[in-house]
Structure 1
Amino acid sequence: MLTDLDDENITRDKACVPENAHPPAGEYTLNLTTITYVTDQTITSVSREKRVFKPLADFQRQANLGSMAAYKKLYAESVNSPENFWKRQASEHLVWRKPFRTVLSWKPPHAKWFTGGRLNVCENCIDKHLGTARENKAALIFEGEPGDVRTITYKQLHFHVCRLAHIFENMGLAAGDRVAIYMPMVPEAVIAMLACARVGAVHTVVFGGFSPEALKDRINDCKAKIVITADGGWRRGKIVELKANVDKAVEDTPSVQTVLVLKRCGNPVTMHNGRDVWWREAWEGAPNYHKPKAFDSEHPLFILYTSGSTGKPKGVLHTSAGYLLGAKLSSHYVFDLKDNDRYFCTADIGWITGHSYVVYGLLSNGSTIFLYEGAPNQPEPDRFWRMIDRHGITILYTAPTAIRAFMRWGDNYVLRNRLDSLRLLGSVGEPINPEAWMWYHKMIGKGRCPIVDTWWQTETGSIMITPLPGVTPSKPGSATLPFFGVVPRVVDEKGHEVPRDAGGKLVITKPWPSMLRTLWGDDERFRKTYFGDYAAQGWYFTGDGARQDKDGYFWIVGRIDDVLNISGHRIGTAEVESALVSHPAVAEAAAVGRPDELKGQSLVVFVTLKTGNEASDALKETLRNHVGKEIGALAKPDQVRFAAGLPKTRSGKIMRRILKEIAVGGAVKGDTTTLEDFSVVAALQNEE
C-alpha cells in the first residue's frame, strides 16, 4: 500500500503494507496517472496527470523528517506496533499530571485512548512554554480588516486566558458545561477556547456566517450555558452584526444564562440586564493567575457541528488527550514546524481546520500563529500577499477555493509582492485540481515551496493522508500517503478492496487517537453514519470516494452522500431543502451539487411552487435570500430552477441522481426503472 519514490522508480516495501492490503508486487515507473471525480456513485476519468515533484534537497536537509526511509520506518511501527508507537508519542509530546495506564481500549465503534491518564489541554498549549525561550515569543499576531495589528506573547496569552478562566468560574461555569463561541476571527476567540479547556468546559464554536436560526439550533442541541460573542466583526468593509444575531438566537434558548460581549467594532448593540455582560467590565478585577485542573484523557474538549444528510447538524465530539496528540504530532511533521516560523492558516476557527491548525496543533508546538479577520480581497485582491510580506509569514495553509479565486483575480496582484518569506504551502478542505496546484506552486511558492495537499475531516480531528514536505514526491491533485497510524483502504459496497486505479469508498480500518468519540446526544446516529456500512469489520466510513493509483498514492474524488462541499464548507442538502420549504410559496424542493471551477461544487435547487404562486426572477432571488437568512450566506443557492414536478421513485423518493445529471446539462443515464413519471424529466430538460 505504501511506496518509496526514488527519482521516478517506485518499489514496494513489504514491512509497510497494512494488514489485508494487496498492492501489486514489483517495481514501477511513474507515468500516466488518472484523476477521477465522483458523480453520484459513479467515478469517471476526466483527465490525466503525470507530473511528479520531488522534495528539494535544501528543504530535505533541514526537515523534521527528511527521507522516505525514515517515514517508512515510523509508519511501519505505527501500524504494526501501534500501542508502542502511541505510548512513546503521547509520553514525549504531552504534559501529563497523571500517567496513563492503557494506550487503547477499542470496542468498535468506541475508542478510549490513554485511559487512566490526566492532563490539561490549555496547560499543554500555554503553561508548558512559560519559563522557556518561548515565553516572550509571539503566540498570536493579529491583523484586523481595517488594518489594526496586535501581537500577544505566550506570557501575555497566559495572562489573558487565566483571567477569562476566573470569569467563567465566577459565572458558575463548571467542568463539562457547554459554551457557545460566535465571534469574529480575533485573538479573544482563541482566548475563549483556551479558557474553556482550562476549566474543563466544552466549547462549541459557531462560524460567524451562520444565521441566528442555525446558531439557535446548535445552542439548543448542546444546551450551552454561556454564549460568547462580539458587537460585530469586519467583513469587506462592513460590520457583521454578531450581537444582534445572538439576541435573535437566544430568544428561544432556555439553557443560556449569560452572554459575554466583546467590543470589537463599536456598533450600537442592545444589552439585556441580568444576561449580557461586556467583556471589559468582567475583565476588571479578575485575578491574573488560574491554576489549571487536570482532567481525564477522555474528558470532552469540544463539540463541532457539521452538516448531515438528514437536515439536523451533527455535533461531533472530540476529547482531550487523543485529539491534542493528533493535532500536535501532525502539525509538527506535516508543516515541518520550526521555532522561527510564522504560520498563517486562512480558515475560520468555526471550522475544524481552525481548531486543529490555528489553535491547538500550533500552540501546543509553541508556534507563532497569524490571525486575519476579514476578506482576502479587502481593500484589494492582494491583501493576503501584502500581509505575508508585512508579517514575514513562512507557512500558508489555505483552501483550493481560495486558490482558484486568486487565479481568477490575476497574477498581477501576486507579482507586486515578494512572498520571499514563504517556505511551505498547504491545501485543505477539498481535493485540489492540478491546474490550481501548479499555479499555487509556481506563483505563490515560486517553485521552491513544498505543497502539502492534506485530506482529513471534522470527524478525524487531524490530518490523515498527506505528503510530508521533506519526504514525499508530490503529484498535483493527490493527497499521496497516509500519516502515522492511519490505515486507509478503497473498497466496494461489500468491503472488498478494489483494484488499483478503480474508484471506491474510502474507509479507515484501524482506530487513531484524534478520531471522534460520538455525536453529541445521538450515539445511534454516530454508529449508523460512520460505522454502519462496515460494522462487521469495525471500519470507519469516510463518506468520500477515492482511488489508489498503481504507485500507492491516494486520490480523493469527493463526497458520495448528500452532503455538498462548497468552497471547502460542508452543506447538508436536507438543511437547504428544509429552509426552502419553510417559505410560504414553496411546495417541494430538492438540492444538488454540480461541479464548479471556482468553488468545487455549486448549489442548484429545484423548486415546485404552491398553487397561486408564479415563477419569476424576483421569486428566485427571494428564495436565495431566504436560504441565506435561515442557514447562512454560504448556503445561498447558485441557481434556482422552478419545476412543475420532481422526478420520484414509485415509493415517493426524489431521484437526486437524475437532478444532478440535469443540473450539469447532461443526458440522464443509468437505471430509471423506478421512475414514476418520465414526463417530469422531459419537462426539466426542456426548461432553461
Structure 2
Amino acid sequence: MDDSLTALIAAPLIPLRPDQRSARYADEIAHARALHDADPDDYWVWVAEQHRWMRRWDTVRTGELGDFRYFDGGLINVADNCVDRWAETVPDRPAVVWEGEPGDSRTVTYAELADEVSRLGAGLTALGVGKGDVVAIYMPNLVEAFTAIHACNRIGAIYTVLFSGFGRDAVASRLASARATVVVVADAIYRRGKPVPLLDTLRSARPDAPTLQHTVVVDRTGNGVPLQDGETSYAALVADHPEGSELVALDPNEPAFLIFTSGTESRPKGVVHSVGGFLLGTWANAHWQTAITDEDVYWVAADVGWLTFPIQAVIGGLANGATIACYEGALDTPSSARFYEVCEKHGITKVLCAPTVLRMLRKFGDDLAHAHPLPRLSLVTVQGEPLDGETFAWATDTLGIPVVNAYGQTETGSTWTYPVAGVDDLKAGSTGTTLPGHACRVVDDDGREVPDGTKGNLVMTRPFPTLARTVWDDHDRYLSTYFERFPGCYATNDEAVVDADGHLWVLGRADDVINVAAHRLSTMEIEAVVGSHPRVVEAAVVGVPDATKGTVPVAFVTVSGDSGDGVADEVIRLVGDTIGGIARPDRVIVTAAMPKTRTGKIMRRLMREVLLYGEARSDTSALEDPSSLDTLASAVRA
C-alpha cells in the first residue's frame, strides 16, 4: 500500500459533540442493527412496517443476487406513502419550498401537493398513459418535477428523469431507448442568469423518438410559449382534471422508474428500480443519513437528473414527511454568496450536496462564510464522489457542523455506507460503516477477501430492496455487468479499503467511468462524440482530478491534415451541444500519436499518467511504440 493511502486511512475518529447527538436516532439504529445481526431480512421487515400497504406481503424475500424479490404478495403505492398519508395527517406542513435562480419562490403544502399530483395523474391518464407506460421528465429543479414523478407513481406509470443539461442527441437516444410515450418538459431552465431552452432541444429530438405521442409543457418562464401539434399545457392539464385519479395498487417488485447511467460502453444503460424496493430503501436512506425531524428544512442541493434527488428529496425525503427545499439554478449566481443566502432565506437546517459544492464554498473563502453565519444549519451530508480530507476539515471547522460522507451508486438505488447522523463518530473522508440490511467485502481480483488496510475491489454480498433489478430491455447485460466477474456478488467496479476501525474508504472507479461534479459520465460516451468530429481520426478521453469538480474529462485526439488549429474548440462545443455542458472536456490535446498495445488498444492509463506527471509511471511492457509517449508528452506541454 502506498504512503498516501496509509496516511489517508490513518485518520482519527472525530467524536460528535453532545449537542450534535440524537437520543432518538441512537435508540432506533441500535434496534435496527440488532435486527440486522439476527437476520438482515428482519431489518427490512421493520422498514416495511414504517409504511402504508394496500395489502400486506406473504413472504419477505425470495431469491439471491441477480434474481430476487421482496415482499411478494403485498401491494403498495409510492405516491400514497410520500404524499397522501402526510396530506391526511399534516396537511399544512410545507412539502416543498422552492426557489428559482431569478429569486422567485413558491411553497407547496402536503395538501396542495396531493391535489396537484392527483389532478396531473388524471391528466396523464386522459393522454392515454396507463400502468407500465413510460413518461419522461425533462426539466430542472421545479415543483413540477415532484408532481410529475408522483403522478406517475400514483397511476402506475414508469418514469425516467432526463438531466436538464442534456443536448439533443442524448435526449433523443434516451427517449427512444425508454420507449417513452409522454414527456413532461419545462420551456426553459434558468442557469447563470440566462434561460436555456429545453423545449427547443426536445422538439429537435422528437423525430428520433418514434414512440413519443404527447408533450406536456411547463411554462417556467411565463412567456406563454406557443404550443405545437402534440403539445399540451401543464397548467391546463391540471386545471381540466379536478376529479383527480385513483391510486393504483402495485406489486412492490414492479418497475417504478428507469434511469440511464453511462457504463464503460458508449451505449447508456437504463437501470430499472422497483416500486416497493426503492421506496423502502430511500426512506431508510434519508432517515439515517440526515436524522430528519418534523422541524427540519432539508435542502437537497442536487439536480433532479442525478439519482440523489429522487432518493433524498422526491421519494426518500417525502416518505419521511420532510420539508424539502429545492433550488433551480447555479449556486454561485448571481454572486458567490447565493448558497448562504438560500440557507438564510429559507431557514435551512440540513443540506445534501456533492463534495464539489463544499470545495466551491472553500474556494470562495472564510470571510464569505463568516459574513453569513447559519445558526440553524446543523448538518451537511455529501455523496456522489470522494470527499477529500481538506474539504471535510474546512467544512467542519468553518461551518461548525458535522459532515456525513455517504457512498452509493445509481445501481444500488441509495447510499448504503456512512456514519448515521446524530449517532456515529466521523472520519475525514471515510464513508463510515455499512448500514443495516446491507453486506459488503473488499476482495482481490480472484474474489478472495483482503485484510483490513489492503486496497481491493468493493463487492456486495447479499441482495437488498433498492438494488436495481435489471437493465431495460437487456437482462443479460445486467447479469454480465454486475454479477459475472465475482459470482455470487454484486460488483461495484469501485476500489476500496477498510481501516482498522472498520470504516470503509471508497477510492474511486476501477473502470472507465468518471464522476464530474457528482454526475457519472462514461468516457466512452464522450469519446464517441469527440470521434464524430470530421477531422478527428482517433480519440481517447480520461478523467483527471479537479479542485472544484472532483474529476474533469480531458480528450486526446489525432487529426487529419497538417494542422489541428481550431479542432480543440470545435470538439469542446460539439460535446457540449450533443451530451451537455457537464461533459465538455476541460482540455482537448491534439497529438500526433497515442500509446497503444500491440493489438492496437489505446493505453489510456498511460495517457492519464503523462497528463498528471509528465511521464508514464506504470507498466509499459505492452506498449508497441515507446516513442509515442515522448510524442504525447510534447503535446501535453504545448
User: TM-score range with shorter-chain normalisation?
Assistant: over 0.9
What is the alpha-carbon distance in structure 1 between the residues aligned to residue 322 and residue 528 of structure 2? 43
What is the alpha-carbon distance in structure 2 between the residues aligned to residue 277 and residue 310 of structure 1? 36
Aligned residue runs from structure 1 range 134-283, under 5 A = 134-267=90-223, 269=225, 271-273=227-229, 275-283=230-238
CA drift of 1:388 comes to: 0.8
Q: Secondary structure of 1:664's partner?
A: helix
Match of 1:357 among 276, 301, 312: 312
Q: Secondary structure of 2:494's partner?
A: strand
Relative to structure 1, is the Cα distance of residues 48 and 554 closer, same or farther in structure 2, using a 3 angstrom cutoff?
closer
What is the alpha-carbon distance in structure 1 between the residues aligned to residue 234 and residue 11 of structure 2? 55
Corresponding residue of 1:518: 470
- Whether 2:55 is the aligned partner of 1:98: answer yes
**Is the CA contact 1:79–1:485 (under 8 Å) kept in the aligned structure 2?**
no
- Whether 2:362 is the aligned partner of 1:410: answer no
- Whether 2:436 is the aligned partner of 1:484: answer yes
- Whether 2:584 is the aligned partner of 1:627: answer no
Corresponding residue of 1:553: 503
- Whether 2:27 is the aligned partner of 1:75: answer no
- Whether 2:46 is the aligned partner of 1:88: answer yes
Corresponding residue of 1:345: 300
Q: Secondary structure of 2:320's partner?
A: coil
- Whether 2:587 is the aligned partner of 1:656: answer no
**Is the CA contact 1:389–1:419 (under 8 Å) kept in the aligned structure 2?**
yes
CA drift of 1:89 comes to: 2.2
Relative to structure 1, is the Cα distance of residues 35 and 442 closer, same or farther in structure 2, using a 3 angstrom cutoff?
farther
CA drift of 1:204 comes to: 0.4
Match of 1:543 among 490, 493, 499: 493
Match of 1:309 among 264, 267, 270: 264
- Whether 2:276 is the aligned partner of 1:318: answer no
Aligned residue runs from structure 1 range 447-486, under 5 A = 449-486=401-438
Instruction: Decide which moves more: 75-84 or 486-495.
Output: 75-84
Corresponding residue of 2:377: 422
Instruction: Decide which moves more: 287-296 or 388-397.
Output: 287-296
Match of 2:74 among 117, 124, 131: 117
In structure 2, runs of 5+ residues without a counterpart are none
Aligned residue runs from structure 1 range 600-639, under 5 A = 600-610=550-560, 612=561, 614-616=563-565, 618-639=566-587
CA drift of 1:253 comes to: 0.9
CA-atom RMSD in angstroms: 1.7
CA drift of 1:289 comes to: 3.2
**Is the CA contact 2:40–2:436 (under 8 Å) kept in the aligned structure 1?**
no
**Is the CA contact 1:34–1:47 (under 8 Å) kept in the aligned structure 2?**
no
What is the alpha-carbon distance in structure 2 between the residues aligned to residue 417 and residue 46 of structure 1? 34
Match of 2:540 among 590, 599, 603: 590
Q: Secondary structure of 2:95's partner?
A: strand
Relative to structure 1, is the Cα distance of residues 72 and 366 closer, same or farther in structure 2, using a 3 angstrom cutoff?
closer
What is the alpha-carbon distance in structure 2 between the residues aligned to residue 166 and residue 48 of structure 1? 53
CA drift of 1:418 comes to: 2.3
Structure 2 counterpart of 1:203, which letter?
Y
Instruction: Decide which moves more: 672-681 or 353-362.
Output: 672-681
Corresponding residue of 2:13: 52
Structure 2 counterpart of 1:116, which letter?
G
**Is the CA contact 1:121–1:197 (under 8 Å) kept in the aligned structure 2?**
yes
Corresponding residue of 1:496: 448
Structure 1 counterpart of 2:617, which letter?
K
Relative to structure 1, is the Cα distance of residues 603 and 35 closer, same or farther in structure 2, using a 3 angstrom cutoff?
farther
**Is the CA contact 2:388–2:429 (under 8 Å) kept in the aligned structure 1?**
yes
Question: Which runs of at least 4 in structure 1 moved beyond 6 Å after TM superposition?
Answer: none
Q: Secondary structure of 2:457's partner?
A: strand
What is the alpha-carbon distance in structure 2 between the residues aligned to residue 294 and residue 595 of structure 1? 47
What is the alpha-carbon distance in structure 2 between the residues aligned to residue 605 and residue 79 of structure 1? 48
Deviations, residues 306-347 of structure 1 (Å, cap 9, x unaligned): 111111111110011111001012211221111111000111
- Whether 2:513 is the aligned partner of 1:563: answer yes
CA drift of 1:48 comes to: 6.7
CA drift of 1:602 comes to: 1.9
**Is the CA contact 2:412–2:467 (under 8 Å) kept in the aligned structure 1?**
yes
Structure 2 counterpart of 1:117, which letter?
G
Corresponding residue of 1:10: none
Structure 1 counterpart of 2:304, which letter?
I
